[in-house]
Chains A and B, each alone.
Chain A
Amino acid sequence: MSNSISRRRFLGTTAAVGAATFLPRHARAASGEISVWKFGGTPQEVEVWAQRNDAFAEAHPDIELNYSYFNGQIRRQKILAGFQTRRLADVIIAFGQDIPEFAGFGMIQPLDDIAGDRMAGWKDRIVPEVFDSGMHEGKLYALPTYVDMASFLAVNLDALEEAGFDRPPETWSELREYAKAMTKPDRPGIAFPATTAPVDINIFEGLAYANGGRIFDEETGKVTLNDPGVVDALQFYVDLISDGSTPAATSLTETFFRDTAQLFGQGRSAMWIGLSWLNTPWGVNEDVRWTGVPFPRPDAPTGSYEPVSAIMDGTAMLMVSSRAENPEAALDYVDFWSQDKQLEIWGGQPEIARIPAGKAAWDNPELAEAWPNWVKAYDAGTLFQGAAEMPRFIGVSAIESALGTAIQQAVLGQKSPQEALDEATAAAQGQIDLIRG
């Protein structure tokens, strides 16, 4: 019996095998089980996310979706434990600040290595500046759905007018003057959070970066917490306290961002410092008239680096685990969340607390109504001008933890901002040297 093979048959077989191997992977319908862990989010987001998951399940009947929601503050512990025990979810929805460490640890994989031609669609639908927030070392590790920007100021309009002002403050010195004038015996002029919660530290970083400060220099590997830009930003916090414009210092160190929002919403503080999610429903009383504006600028930035207009980070970024057992299905899930219908959630349908990632979301009238100035700035192409990423590098938590301690020491008057930040720099440098080796 002859085993010969004709040339035509050989070429046909080779072409068929080649096509099966090299065809875009997502052309094959994904099936099987995927697990998804989502961390953090506003109550509204958490509810809507689960509803849209049902839509995903309907559209992908062959994929069994195992979705779990967790508090944002425990994400590192949960993800690390999952990674170590080889039970990490296929898709992780976490914070942009986590990317360098998760990537460095080998927990997540670059999406552009596996996404194939889906990438073109993502780039097409997502605002470039926001899309870049998912990049690390030139590769896309996470798909953003929105970003938060730091820092913003909420102003009670009745208190503003009562104090004789017709516009919100625009510089740090103006803010001190306004806060003093708006202070009453039973209502401080301004409140800011100063606990060790990461968000409270991010709020401060917004001020420090706008003043030309940085917390770490990637090029030199040096912690720069005692840069004049950071020291003077902390001095600004201390000045607000010594002006008598804030609640008691001990109260600030136990009041995290949500409590501060609550005080403002109840009319118990005339202004408060937060992130761009000022507009989220924090339980603001109906009789409180207020507005949110970008945080006033330093009169003359003192830091050694380029002052930024804002720092930003996404807190619902979709990442695919490096141990994903079903990467095709995981990518289908990520792709589902890149569609306009999902991204419009943050265009005021229904959430108005974030800066949406989807281009189409910016056309929604709900967003224009809630944040007319944002939409104007976006349309003019200035919204992200001068903005930078929130600090993100391997060891960021160690430095932010030392910064949190320094903020509290200065706020409580235990140390001057310079002393507190000098000590924090030394402590954080020790940690960083250990972590980065």
Chain B
Amino acid sequence: MLRSDRFLAYALILPVVAAVVAFVVGPTYNVATLSLTQVVMGMERGFGTLGNFQALAADPVFGLVLKNTAIWILGGTVLCVTVGLGVGAYLAIDSRMTGWLRALILLPWVLPDVVTAMAWKWMLHGQVGIIGQTLQQSGLTEGTVSFLGDPDMVMWVLVVVLIWRKMPLVALILCAAIRSVPDDQLEAARMDGANAVERFRFVTLPNIAFSLTAVTVISMIWITAEFALPWIMTGGGPANASQIMATYIYQQSFEFFNWGVASAMSVINLVMLASIVALYLYINRRSWASEGSK
């Protein structure tokens, strides 16, 4: 490569590098330093302390927050991708019905978060909600069911709403990947006597591994960042039963003005997410690498 070409290459990537530094590295550095600083009500009370992390370790709510966050991120991602894969496989079939469904399925995705959360909150309300009333009137339940008021149920109900919201795009991405699987490979497997499940397991899945890995990682990040749905629907309640990292960080920052602790939680959140994504990419490194190098 000529020296002038090298300069041109650096010049061309400079805006992207600058944007990453400004919008990713800068804020991350800022949060990391804040996590090591006692900052309350906008006043700095000393840098170089682990006090925020110690406060979290002593906080009885934080353990519950970690458990709920695990259900939210892992449960949400696994179910979102699994259901998305099933729906994507169905949508990949050519028919008039699937043609319509491919367009309609995006509706939950295009609705604003706040509208979605408010609508579900109302529908799921035990006494004034349409779902509880329908269940009761049809005799499926004896009394009202408080989906969002029952601490044993609330986290999983939130996950169901999350899947309803996030799954459509996952399904469409995987549908596109499935439709791009070479017909000759599927035909060859069929001629060799493979049934539908075997063709999916041994032909389709390896071919869509790259997309599947990518969509899983993206879903995990989306779900980690999701705040409006749980906050509007439950506010972290009842009794912190649906308090997750995103809502607790918000509460510490904007309700208690406790930015040091909120930043410490953000750092823990970032490390956890990066670890899970790294582990997932490591486990799937073969399919990732082979597809990526195509």
- Interface residues, chain A, CB within 8 Å of chain B? 76-77, 80, 83-84, 101, 104-106, 194-197, 247-255, 259, 262-263, 268, 394-395, 397-398, 401, 404-405, 408-409, 412, 414, 423, 426-427, 430-431, 434-435, 437
Contact indicator B126/A250 (Cβ below 8 Å) = yes
**Given that A195-B237, A263-B128, A430-B55 are contacting pairs, would A255 and B257 also be in contact in the complex, using a CB cutoff of 8 Å?**
no
Residues of A within 8 A of B147 (CB): 254
Neighbour of A412 across the interface among B40, B238, B255, CB < 8 A: B238
Contact indicator A196/B261 (Cβ below 8 Å) = no
A-B contact count (CB 8 A): 114
Contact with A along B130-162 (1 / 0, CB 8 A): 000000000000011011111100000000000
B180 within 8 A of A: no
Contact indicator A253/B238 (Cβ below 8 Å) = yes
- Interface residues, chain B, CB within 8 Å of chain A? 38, 40-42, 45, 55, 58-61, 125-128, 143-144, 146-151, 234-240, 250-251, 254-258, 261
**Given that A259-B125, A398-B256 are contacting pairs, would A197 and B235 also be in contact in the complex, using a CB cutoff of 8 Å?**
yes
- In the bound assembly, the distance between CA atoms of A250 and B126 in angstroms comes to 9
- In the bound assembly, the distance between CA atoms of A395 and B258 in angstroms comes to 10
Nearest chain B CB to A80 CB, angstrom units: 6
Residues of A within 8 A of B235 (CB): 195-197
Contact indicator B257/A105 (Cβ below 8 Å) = yes
Residue of B125, B143, B256 contacting most chain A CB atoms (<10 Å): B256
Nearest chain A CB to B123 CB, angstrom units: 12
- In the bound assembly, the distance between CA atoms of A76 and B149 in angstroms comes to 26
Residues of B within 8 A of A408 (CB): 237-239
Contact indicator A259/B59 (Cβ below 8 Å) = no
Nearest chain B CB to A336 CB, angstrom units: 30
**Given that A77-B254, A101-B41, A250-B150 are contacting pairs, would A434 and B144 also be in contact in the complex, using a CB cutoff of 8 Å?**
no
- In the bound assembly, the distance between CA atoms of A430 and B237 in angstroms comes to 20
Q: Can you name the residue of chain A whose Cβ is closest to the Cβ of B148? A: A254
Residues of A within 8 A of B60 (CB): 423, 426-427
Residue of B149, B150, B235 contacting most chain A CB atoms (<10 Å): B149
Q: Given contacts A196-B235, A409-B239, A435-B257, list 15 more A-B pairs with CB under 8 A.
A: A80-B254, A84-B42, A195-B237, A196-B236, A196-B237, A248-B126, A248-B143, A254-B125, A254-B146, A262-B128, A394-B41, A401-B255, A408-B237, A414-B239, A431-B258
